Structure 1
């Protein structure tokens, strides 16, 4: 049957032509898609995005098992964030405990972020090769134990060593958690669920801030927050033990196992082919994630310190403002992630970054707790609104068979490159001063304002010129290293998974019949 859609120019080849085409498409409501027929012939068409569905109806599309996978993935990412922010929101206390500067304490944040990419590569490859379950369990249990080890550090050197090891295991959580959560969600619900999923990071911050508020401002109370973090991580790991793998990795597949062979050699060969074909996409995603990680760490990690020092607020007021700020993040990430299913991933990112740039003066200049809470809420509404699109955007841009290692490594490499962000903000702020009530105080506000404005602009440009694969049916892809013995080599199987959804299904049906 002939298509009823309007023909479009084929996808451009090369970096510059692709960037020009993608920038042009940003201002076209319809989506440019490639259609492949049963004979392997391709054509490019403009397809009108499907209208938004009622969120309740989207929730109802998830099965009970789908909800279980999603909620545990969300819990793992929330625990990961709680573990990280247990340190970042208590920089002031830790500096006093170890008798050092806040900048030196932020060295631990830098080391954590540096080693997360190593953990993402190790546990991401394990997750794509053997399944999401046991790598995630190992990560969560070890993270809890390392939180406990942090409490018993006697010296600052021991503290830095434990936090470095903590970063390695922390890096493995993201890729497996979002792959497991999203691959078990229906396509239409993925924008909404991505927005909710990413806000596990904001939720982890809120819970850590609540814990910090609850224990009070005394120096030694930081240990109580770390005990809570340890309990949450270990608890999530134990819950994950109780239910099975994602469907791609179950021992008893729905198809005849005799037609499949899986080996480490084929897995590594497939990984090599993926890197050969997708290196440009890898570089692009790393650049995008570098901007995004600077975006969050610059606007969040030192914000409590900013309120305590420059605004001279008490600990409980600063904690309350931080909680409301992150509540805005949770709301914004959910709403904008949901809207991205209709308006597109890149448009939603660009508009969110633009709005956050406009809000910077209102975010930094107020003095009262109420005003700072309100402007912080709306600032993080858009910062995390853009972030809410990241899980599904990375999954759609990923080679389908490597949706644990690819998002995890690109995300964590961006984290690694942006790892000095907290140190940079603290160092610049502590070396420059503004006047507050006739007293010179460290210039955290101006430092964060200038840095965030530059970063928001970088995100807008990078997203506007980059690719988008909204609606990719990655759940149809075979697992990495799974070869079907029908005379096709490994590369052919990988490419089948990357074709449009209708063709993926047809090709898989054909393979199963053979």
Structure 2
């Protein structure tokens, strides 16, 4: 960000005042920042976003170590998505295998999403306290073991129990993966890297759809897809064992050994700072949970039952539906990368709102066509914008997060949103199976298309409104933030400073810009 030195109104306080200010700022291409002069006096002014740079030059900014962390985070997030979609794209097969309805099978999706928030809290806090490495290793290996346990579930009740436990461990992946992948990326490359990273989810879906296409449509072929998923998860967990810890925690250990760390890193210090963070940031936590609830409804409603929609209402065979699903998610990979990159200049919130509105306009073209080619094309463009909006989310959540909680905060708010939206696939299946339309052949078919279309339109409206009145902290400086527990002085029973000032303290160290916005956007001090 480049300061214009043009004075701006002070940052609003309170929910309604902040919402009003956020709405007006949405239509100002400049960004409101708070800069601090030599005397420590803050003032608000406008900053101009730096024009987009050549994406190749942005990628070149990452060092070999940065790429290592990014690739491992991307791989873990992709495996997480493969594990999840191994079930969602095979609902028809599983319903036949267990002799039950597709709505009953989607109960497993609901249980998985419900318990992901518990795993996000457990493993996110572990990642903030002990590092990103070993919580992720445990996550990935246990996920693989639970995929195998799913294969050997003899009854539907056993199947549901295993998938519930699966959700607990699945929830811990996201927070640690995005923190590890993005925390060391250069500030002006984060939008691009966020867009690429989020598409690990779409890439995992594509891989699962390819596996489903390869194994065929027999009732028991779903087991092969689960074996593949198990191998990928366990493999990534084992590979992660041989890579180093996050640089943030390596530097923190060095500081503790040298006696230069400001605070403690004991359990007492960690929990004390966590309580302080929640007391100061609870409104932001609630906002992010609401935002992620809408976003999780957005993705699950538009994708989890889409293969079922093509198999039933559109009467495609397993191969055709799988190919269309692959092309649909290829669009997601492209859209998420491009729009995540554009958000670095256009703004996080404006990019999300524009992508959501375009996806809403595409709903008729998404559900009305017949035939594999038409459905593949419209699915491509629909997911281009659905996942285009999602491509902004990893860096948007990281920038909104309290600096010391970039593993637990994004992971927990994301998974709590997942928990609230967990019945999405079940709702779509239940409504579709109780209402009917005529298929292409004139046969009576379950109304998956109209159900997904109406639900997605409502969700788009919710995303636009929530995003328009919410905060944005684009460009926040958080690379030098101390880990949780090291920003308080436990033996004195008082905090070093409030958490926002602690963030400012880091930004104002020699060699760094002496400024930050409401969310820590560094602006060069003149």
- Same fold, TM-score > 0.5, yes or no: yes
Q: Secondary structure at the match of 2:254?
A: coil
Kindly state the Cα deviation for residue 502 of structure 1 after the two structures are TM-superposed: 4.3
Residue 431 of structure 2 corresponds to 428
- State the Cα distance separating 1:255 from its structure 2 match: 7.4
Match of 2:466 in 1: 462
Question: In the aligned structure 1, how far is the partner of 2:305 from the partner of 2:512?
Answer: 51
Aligned to 1:65: 65
Query: C-alpha offsets along residues 84-137 of structure 1, whole Å, 9 cap, x if unaligned?
Result: 000000000001111110000000000000000000000000000010000000
Task: Work out whether 1:351 is the aligned partner of 2:354.
Answer: yes
Equivalent-residue separation in structure 2 for 1:497 and 1:445 (angstroms): 51
* Partners of 1:192 and 1:339 within 8 A in 2: yes
Query: Is 2:386 the partner of 1:383?
Result: yes
Structure 1 counterpart of 2:155: 155
Inter-CA distance 504–172: structure 2 relative to 1 (3 Å threshold): farther
- Whether the 8 Å contact between 2:5 and 2:46 is mirrored in structure 1 is yes
2:496 and 2:139 map into 1 onto residues whose CA distance is 31
Q: CA deviation at 1:482?
A: 1.4
Cα distance between partner residues in 2 of 1:32 and 1:487: 36
Partner of 2:278: 275
Counterpart Cα distance in 1 of 2:236 and 2:105: 28
CA contact (8 A) 1:345 1:389 kept: yes
Correspondence 1:311-322 to 2 at 5 A = 311-322=314-325
In structure 2, relative to structure 1, the CA distance for the partners of 1:169 and 1:28 (3 Å cut) is same
Deviation at 1:501, TM superposition (A): 7.3
1:30-429 superposed matches below 5 A: 30-250=30-250, 252-253=253-254, 257-260=258-261, 261-429=264-432
1:319 to partner: Cα distance:
0.3
Once residues 407 and 505 of structure 1 are traced to their aligned partners in structure 2, the CA distance between those partners, rounded to angstroms, is: 29
Structure 2-normalised TM-score?
0.94
Deviations 1:265-304 (A, max 9, x none): 0100000000000000000000000000000000000000
CA distance in 2, matches of 1:110, 1:255: 43
Rounded Cα–Cα distance in structure 1 between residues aligned with 2:505 and 2:52: 21
For 1:348-399, what per-residue CA distance to the aligned partner results, in whole angstroms no more than 9, with x for missing partners? 0000000000000000000011010000000000000000000000000000
Contact 1:400 1:497 (C-alpha < 8 Å) held by counterparts: no
Cα shift at 1:463: 0.4
Aligned-residue offset at 1:37 = 2.5
Task: Indicate conservation of the 8 Å contact 1:472/1:500, yes or no.
Answer: no
CA distance in structure 1 between the aligned counterparts of 2:7 and 2:145, rounded to whole angstroms: 57
- 2:444 corresponding residue in structure 1: 440
**Distance change >3 Å, CA 371–CA 508, structure 1 → 2:** closer
Offset of 1:259 from its aligned partner? Answer: 3.1
Partner-residue secondary structure (3-state), 1:253: helix
Instruction: Provide the residue aligned with 1:496 in structure 2.
Output: 501
CA contact (8 A) 2:4 2:47 kept: no
Unaligned runs of 5+ in 1: 510-514
Deviations 1:321-367 (A, max 9, x none): 00000000000000000000000000000000000000000000000
Q: Secondary structure in 2 aligned to 1:434?
A: strand
Distance 1:202-1:505 versus aligned 2 partners, 3 A rule: farther
- Of 347-356 and 12-21, more deviation after overlay is shown by 12-21
The verdict on how the C-alpha distance between 1:70 and 1:320 changes in structure 2, with shifts beyond 3 A counting, is same
- Tell me the TM-score normalized by structure 1: 0.96
Structure 2 CA distance for aligned equivalents of residues 482 and 442 of structure 1: 56
* Partner secondary structure for residue 268 of structure 1: helix
Instruction: Output the CA distance in 2 between the equivalents of 1:385 and 1:508.
Output: 31
Where does the alignment leave 5 or more consecutive residues of structure 2 unmatched? Answer: 515-526
SS in 2 for 1:158: helix
Change (3 A) 1:495 1:415: same
Compute the displacement of 1:256 (Å).
5.6
The CA deviation at 1:449 is 0.2
Deviation at 1:40, TM superposition (A): 2.3
Asked if the contact 2:248/2:480 (under 8 Å) is kept, the reply is: no
Q: Note the alpha carbon deviations across 1:412-453, whole angstroms, 9 max, x for none.
A: 000000000000000000000001222110000000000000
SS of the aligned residue for 1:482 comes to: coil
Distance 1:175 1:80 in 2: 12
- Mapped to 2, the partners of 1:500 and 1:242 lie a distance apart of 34
Tell me, what secondary structure is at the counterpart of 1:367? Answer: coil
SS of 2:379's partner is helix
**Cα distance in 1 for residues equivalent to 2:255 and 2:28:** 41
- Cα deviation code 1:226-276 (max 9, x no counterpart): 000001001111111111111121274267631333110010000000000
May I ask how many residue pairs the two structures share in their alignment?
A: 507
Tell me the distance in 2 between the aligned counterparts of 1:186 and 1:311.
46
Alpha-carbon distance change, 442 to 9 in structure 1, aligned in 2, over 3 angstroms: same
Does the CA-based 8 Å contact 1:473-1:500 persist in structure 2? no
For 1:330 and 1:372, the matched residues in 2 are separated by 17
Distance 1:79 1:242, change over 3 A: same
CA RMSD of aligned residues (A): 1.8
For residues 152 and 270 of structure 1, what CA distance do their matches in structure 2 show? 44
In structure 2, the residue matched to 1:512 is: none
Cα pair 1:120 1:412 within 8 Å, conserved: yes
Structure with a larger share of its residues in helix = 1
Cα pair distance change 1:508/1:31, threshold 3 Å: closer
Q: Deviations over 1:186-237 (max 9, x none)?
A: 1111000000000011000000000000000011110000000001001111
